[in-house]
């Protein structure tokens, strides 16, 4: 889509609130995904190339700190930090005055919504070109009732038609002359209005709605922040690892695959019990969390691992994941062995893997292949296994 940039926008970011539910700290300086809320706002909304200036309205006492934070990341538009007033409306008013005559449009935004995107700002500006004012809103999913305040309980008066209701977000975008006029004319009544669009509505101007963004959430509590800063959101929802192992087949050794003793005249040669399937899965799990490989944790030179049941190796890898805040989610694996046929043993292998890793059996796949007489495995000189595993953070995996 081509976007002819014929309109400039000045941002006013209200960041003077002290979040009581945040433990009384200055919201503007709270960090989310490694950046302050204000920096997140500037990075995301600043993705819209029409932004010509930004005014951050900060809480008295934090202005210098916000200024120093913002100053560390120069942008292609000027960013100024000014001191706010006792209420949000007064803070926005001060921000508008600092913005002066910059921008055909003004976008008024709350720092507590760090994820509003540059694309949302673009759509709002496009809509405001016609109407003079545009705000983002989402359909309401809760049933909303109006009540009459009673004594210990309230009486329901009516149930509102939610198809006609929208939950309103910021940024709210207005033609600069209209919002400045509204703030001037209504300066004595600012406390009556719960958002900036209400002032334009009061002045009889048209305000239109554009689709808001689900991600444009408002952070009002420490719990909100923690939910975003969980390891899953910092490092990706799930991670994936791949593992491979092979061992020689020799006479006089037991053949153990996936913890199951297989009837066979020959078994796999190795320092431990040489269970290639457990070893491939272990490497896939370690790999998914970038925790190295099986050899670095269980070196063949270490006599403690001589003849070891590889279930303990796999179990240790699961423990290492857990320490990092992860658990296995699913595994798919393939064992390559010429003889004997493994199908009678597959279900027991899946059960073993499920038990050790904590994954339900439906999330554990074991497949068997031959090499059809080709190469060393085809000549029954050895066996190999491949595995691919997904892991997720503990909270996520428990859902
Ligand atoms: Mg091995």
Read off the pLDDT of residues 350-393 as tens digits, 9 standing for 90 and up.
999 999 999 999 999 999 999 999 999 999 999 999 999 999 87
Alpha carbon of 331 to ligand 1 centroid (Å): 18
151 vs 232, more confident: 151
Average pLDDT, the chain: 90
Question: How many angstroms separate the alpha carbon of residue 271 from the centre of ligand 1?
Answer: 8
CATH class of 4-220: alpha beta
Is the pLDDT at 103 greater than 70? The verdict is yes
Q: Place 154 in a pLDDT band, splitting at 50, 70 and 90.
A: confident
State the pTM of this model.
Answer: 0.59
Quickly tell me which residue has 């760090």 as its tokens: 114
Residue 236 Cα to ligand 1 midpoint, Å, equals 29
Between the CA of 327 and the centroid of ligand 1 the distance, in Å, is 22
- What does the block give as tokens for 240? 């994936």
Tell how far the Cα of 67 is from the centroid of ligand 1, in angstroms.
56
Write the CB contacts of 385 (distance below 8 Å, at least 6 apart in sequence): 243, 244, 245, 246, 257, 276, 277, 279, 280, 281, 333, 334, 335, 336
CA of 69 to the centre of ligand 1 (A): 51
Q: What is the pLDDT of residue 112?
A: 92
Task: Identify the band that residue 237 occupies on the pLDDT scale cut at 50, 70 and 90.
Answer: low
304-320 confidence digits (pLDDT tens):
878 789 999 999 999 99
Superfamily of domain 227-397: 2-C-methyl-D-erythritol 2,4-cyclodiphosphate synthase (3.30.1330.50)
Which residue is listed with tokens 């969390």? 289
pLDDT in tens, 193-208: 999 999 999 999 999 9
Q: How many angstroms separate the alpha carbon of residue 393 from the centre of ligand 1?
A: 27
pLDDT tier, 397 (very low <50, low <70, confident <90, very high otherwise): very low
Rounded-to-integer distance, Cα 326 and Cα 318, Å: 9
- Å from CA of 312 to ligand 1 middle: 13
Give domain limits for the chain: 4-220, 227-397
Identify the sign of the CA torsion 267, 269, 275, 280.
negative
> Ligand 1 center to residue 244 CA distance, Å?
9
| Contact present, 168 and 120 (Cβ < 8 Å) | no
Q: How far is the CA of 18 from the centre of ligand 1 (A)?
A: 57
Cα 360 to middle of ligand 1, angstroms: 25
CA of 314 to the centre of ligand 1 (A): 11
pLDDT score of 23 more than 60:
no
Ligand 1 centre distance from Cα of residue 333 (Å): 15
Give 174's contacts (C-beta < 8 A, 6+ positions apart): 105, 106, 108, 128, 132, 133, 134, 196, 197, 200
> What is the C-alpha to C-alpha distance for residues 302 and 316, in angstroms, rounded to an integer?
16
Q: How many A from CA of 274 to the centre of ligand 1?
A: 5
Beta strand 238-251 with 266-268: parallel, antiparallel or unpaired? Answer: antiparallel
Rounded to the nearest angstrom, the distance between the alpha carbon of 259 and the centre of ligand 1 is 13
Residue 80 pLDDT exceeds 70: yes
Reported confidence tier of residue 2, pLDDT bands at 50, 70, 90: very low
| 317 CA distance to ligand 1 middle (Å) | 14
Give me ligand 1 centre to Cα 56, in Å: 58
Question: Measured in angstroms, how far is the CA atom of residue 334 from the centroid of ligand 1?
Answer: 15
- Least trusted range by pLDDT, from 25-34, 152-161, 202-211, 221-230: 221-230
């Amino acid at each position: 889509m081509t976007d002819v940039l014929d309109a400039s926008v000045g941002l006013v970011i209200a960041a003077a609130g002290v979040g009581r539910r945040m433990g009384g700290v200055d919201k503007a300086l709270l960090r989310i995904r490694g950046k302050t809320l204000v920096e997140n706002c500037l990075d995301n909304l600043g993705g819209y190339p029409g932004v010509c200036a930004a005014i951050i309205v900060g809480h008295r006492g934090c202005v210098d700190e916000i200024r120093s934070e913002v100053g560390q990341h120069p942008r292609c538009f000027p960013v100024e930090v000014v001191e706010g007033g006792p209420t949000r409306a007064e803070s926005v008013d001060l921000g508008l005055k600092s913005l002066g005559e910059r921008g055909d449009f003004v976008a008024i935004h709350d720092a507590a919504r760090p994820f509003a995107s540059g694309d949302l700002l673009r759509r709002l500006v496009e809509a405001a070109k016609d109407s003079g004012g545009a705000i983002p809103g989402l359909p309401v999913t809760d049933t909303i009732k109006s009540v009459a305040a009673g004594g210990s309980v309230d009486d329901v008066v009516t149930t509102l038609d939610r198809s006609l209701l929208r939950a309103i977000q910021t940024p709210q975008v207005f033609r600069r002359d209209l919002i400045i006029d509204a703030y001037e004319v209504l300066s004595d009544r600012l406390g009556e209005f719960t958002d900036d669009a209400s002032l334009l509505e009061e002045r009889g101007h048209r305000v239109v709605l554009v689709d808001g963004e689900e991600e444009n959430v408002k952070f009002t509590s420490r719990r909100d922040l923690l939910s975003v800063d969980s390891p899953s959101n910092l490092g990706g929802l799930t991670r994936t690892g791949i593992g491979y192992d092979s061992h020689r087949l020799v006479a006089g050794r037991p053949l153990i695959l996936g913890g199951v003793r297989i009837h066979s005249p020959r078994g796999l040669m190795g320092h431990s019990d040489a269970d290639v399937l457990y070893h491939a899965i272990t490497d896939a799990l370690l790999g998914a969390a970038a925790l190295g490989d099986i050899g670095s944790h269980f070196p063949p030179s270490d006599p403690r691992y001589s003849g070891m049941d590889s279930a303990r190796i796999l179990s240790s890898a699961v423990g290492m994941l857990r320490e990092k805040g992860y658990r296995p989610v699913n595994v798919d694996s393939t064992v390559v062995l010429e003889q004997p046929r493994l199908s009678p043993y597959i279900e027991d292998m899946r059960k073993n893997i499920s038990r050790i890793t904590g994954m339900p059996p439906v999330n554990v796949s074991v497949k068997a292949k031959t090499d059809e007489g080709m190469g060393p495995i085809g000549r029954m000189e050895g066996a190999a296994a491949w595995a691919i595993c997904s892991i997720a953070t503990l909270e996520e995996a428990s859902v």
